[in-house]
Amino acid sequence: MLALADWHSRGERVPIRHHRVFIRQDGPAGGAPVTLIHGFPTSSHDWVEVLPYLLDAGYRVTTLDLLGFGASDKPHPYQYSLIEQASIVEAVWQHLGIGSTALIAHDYGVSVAQELLARDAARITSMSWLNGGLYPDLHRPIPAQEALAGPEGPALAAVMNEELFAATLRGILGRPVTDETLGELWQALEMSDGTAVMPSLLGYMAERRANAERWVTALESYPGPQRFVWGPADPISGAHVVERIAQRLPHAALNVLDQDPAVGHYPQLEAPELVGPLLR
């Protein structure tokens, strides 16, 4: 596993829409473009274990830390928005000279991807989804998320530490990950006082509900190939979302990672050996 420090050393922070955003590219310059969008509250380092599978397939892979995450700027106070995050992704594409691209998204990133589809679906050559709130009415936030999004959120964020973070993450996993992995997820979160921005970032839950019709329509009307790689043991967006996907998108590829023990909320970290080949 590539350590977080090494991950950052091979990327760069570039000025994007008045902020500095961490981006990196891997793979041959002439490879077919693939863009990976991470979830909350972590960073692009989430993809480190599946990246080799994409590189073996010859793709040119772009990853970035969204605003407020990882090594990107974390302005505070600030009104974070999924709409702005989509604009940041588009600006990264422009900066790198990327036209059309395949898109792979997880968790928070699925809403960013849905907004990108709603803007210009023709630009996305294929779409792969990992556990996330595709259908806002099915989203089941855990108590920690609800508390951080509430009036006491800043006070709770101020006492967040690695032990509490790791315990919360373990509660949404179906398969265990190493203490080292959890520690690196925490390091990415706490960079630049990242715990302080968590309550503001969690405004995405209300934003999803406000944009539900637009984003569900973008998902269900997308004419390109779609694949869903899903951990059913996820208490937030697990097996109950699989049922909706199967009903509404019967022609999409649906891979449910239900081998014992079933995968939870972070398929790319819990079972990269299963997820990586499916994303190629």
Mapped to the 3 state alphabet, what secondary structure does 10-76 carry? CCEEEEECCEEEEEEEECCCCCCEEEEECCCCCCHHHHCCCHHHHHHCCCEEEEECCCCCCCCCCCC
The DSSP code for 263 is: P
Run of H or E including 221: helix 212-221
Helix/strand/coil for 169: helix
Burial 181-195 (b: 16+ CB within 10 A, else e): bbebbbbbbebeebb
The CATH fold assigned to 4-279 is Rossmann fold (3.40.50)
Per-residue pLDDT tens listing for the chain (280 residues): 789 999 999 999 999 999 999 999 999 999 999 999 999 999 999 999 999 999 999 999 999 999 999 999 999 999 999 999 999 999 999 999 999 999 999 999 999 999 999 999 999 999 999 999 999 999 999 999 999 999 999 999 999 999 999 999 999 999 999 999 999 999 999 999 999 999 999 999 999 999 999 999 999 999 999 999 999 999 999 999 999 999 999 999 999 999 999 999 999 999 999 999 999 9
Query: Tokens 């589809």, residue?
Result: 117
**pLDDT for res 113:** 98
Sheet holding 12-16, edge to edge: 12-16, 19-26, 60-64, 33-37, 101-106, 124-130, 226-230, 253-256
